[in-house]
């Protein structure tokens, strides 16, 4: 019965098919809806993704000058030629070369870097008609399970697309340089060496993150990659373009964790907190009257600075680790006035501190 119906109405069905093909000429009728979305996003975004080659001059065993090259990815964000990438892609580079999707190569000029968030902005003087711009979306309402697409140049293989999902949000990792990066997007989209600095995209082709790192024992993708949320990227990149660096809040003191065994050893009223070691002269902590350590306690082969103030709360929030305190400080801006609860001479007291701007060499 169905076959007879289709046969009788075959002309009408063919007409509907032809009209659909005219209305949706870009749709390939041999692929699924999800595959077509991948194709559309790639066509839209790939021209805005560039390959970045950086050359670093090093010394060999005989102190000869040896240039070494590394590569990564970047994304064009405006018609003036500004390009977002990772700091580690261009760090210490003597020469930067940018290859556009059309194969044209341009020298890259460093605009600014922020090692704490592994971001950098470079610029090329290419004609605006050669620059395909990719719009920055938002990372505010991302959901675990959401589809994502990564485009980059893994192992120098340009314009490579991989897909996956958001595996988790709010991840914290430690970089090889010892920096703590927070609030990262975790994804299982394949990210390999060379993908660094490339965009992580949503289904609409908007940038929701900049790929920055992977967790891997082999050096290749094992399905655990990380991207910097685009809301962080937008805030930092605007500062980098404006002044070449990012202003980070700074308390001006070296910090050490206080743990229960040490608190018991020192007979302190607080079990957890952060001990102040050295105080930078004329820094924020010094101007607030905070005191640093005045003696050393030797524990095995380690000498611990003790006798200084112990920070036990920041703006009313309990401080339990050095990393936790640094995280709290980072939520503020230079010039902000914050309240610390400290333990001094085994007595609790409140101390206001005006945060400074972290020196570039700190």
How is residue 77 annotated by DSSP? -
Residue 167's CB is within 10 A of a number of other CB atoms, namely 18
Q: On the CB side of 118, how many CA atoms lie within 13 Å of its CA?
A: 29
CA dist list (Å): 311 to 82, 255, 291, 355: 42, 9, 11, 15
**What is d(CA 274, CA 285) in angstroms, rounded to the nearest whole number?**
14
Phi then psi dihedrals of residue 46, to 5 deg: -55, -40
**What is d(CA 323, CA 180) in angstroms, rounded to the nearest whole number?**
8
CA dihedral defined by 177, 212, 240, 83, rounded to 10 degrees? 140
**């169905």: which residue's tokens?**
2
Token readout for 221 is 């993708």
Token readout for 38 is 């991948």
Q: Are the C-beta atoms of 179 and 165 separated by less than 8 Å?
A: no
Phi then psi dihedrals of residue 172, to 5 deg: -120, 130
**What is d(CA 317, CA 252) in angstroms, rounded to the nearest whole number?**
20
Q: Which residues are catalytic?
A: 88, 118, 196
Q: On the CB side of 268, how many CA atoms lie within 13 Å of its CA?
A: 26
List 295's β-bridge partners, or say none. 306
């Amino acid at each position: 019965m169905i076959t007879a119906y289709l046969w009788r109405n075959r002309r009408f069905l063919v007409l509907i098919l032809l009209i659909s093909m005219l209305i949706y000429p870009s749709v390939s009728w041999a692929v699924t809806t999800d595959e077509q979305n991948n194709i559309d996003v790639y066509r839209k975004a790939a021209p805005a993704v560039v390959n970045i080659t950086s050359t670093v001059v090093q010394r060999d065993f005989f102190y000869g000058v040896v240039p070494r090259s590394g590569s990564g990815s970047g994304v064009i964000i405006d018609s003036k030629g500004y390009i977002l990438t990772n700091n580690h892609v261009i760090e210490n580079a003597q020469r930067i070369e940018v290859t556009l999707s059309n194969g044209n190569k341009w020298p890259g000029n460093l605009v600014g870097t922020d090692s704490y968030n592994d971001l950098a902005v470079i610029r090329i003087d290419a004609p605006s008609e050669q620059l395909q711009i990719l719009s920055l979306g938002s990372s505010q309402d991302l959901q675990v399970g959401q589809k994502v697409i990564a485009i980059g140049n893994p192992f120098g293989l340009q314009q490579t697309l991989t897909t996956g999902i958001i595996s988790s949000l709010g991840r914290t990792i430690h970089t090889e340089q010892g920096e703590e990066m927070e609030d990262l997007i975790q994804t299982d989209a394949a990210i390999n060496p060379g993908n660094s600095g490339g965009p992580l995209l949503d289904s609409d082709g908007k940038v929701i993150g900049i790929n920055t790192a992977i967790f891997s024992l082999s050096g290749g993708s094992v399905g655990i990659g990380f991207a910097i949320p685009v809301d962080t990227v937008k805030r930092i990149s605007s500062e980098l373009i404006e002044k070449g660096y990012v202003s980070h809040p700074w308390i001006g003191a070296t910090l050490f964790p206080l743990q229960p065994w040490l608190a018991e050893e020192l007979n302190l009223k607080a079990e957890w907190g952060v001990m102040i070691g050295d105080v930078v002269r004329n820094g924020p902590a010094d101007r607030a009257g905070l005191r640093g350590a005045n003696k050393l306690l030797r524990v095995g082969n380690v000498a611990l600075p003790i006798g200084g103030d112990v920070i036990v709360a920041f703006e009313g929030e309990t401080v339990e680790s050095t990393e936790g305190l640094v995280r709290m400080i980072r939520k503020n801006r230079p010039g902000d006035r914050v309240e610390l609860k400290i333990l001094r001479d085994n007595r609790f007291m409140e101390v206001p501190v005006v945060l400074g701007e972290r020196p570039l060499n700190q």
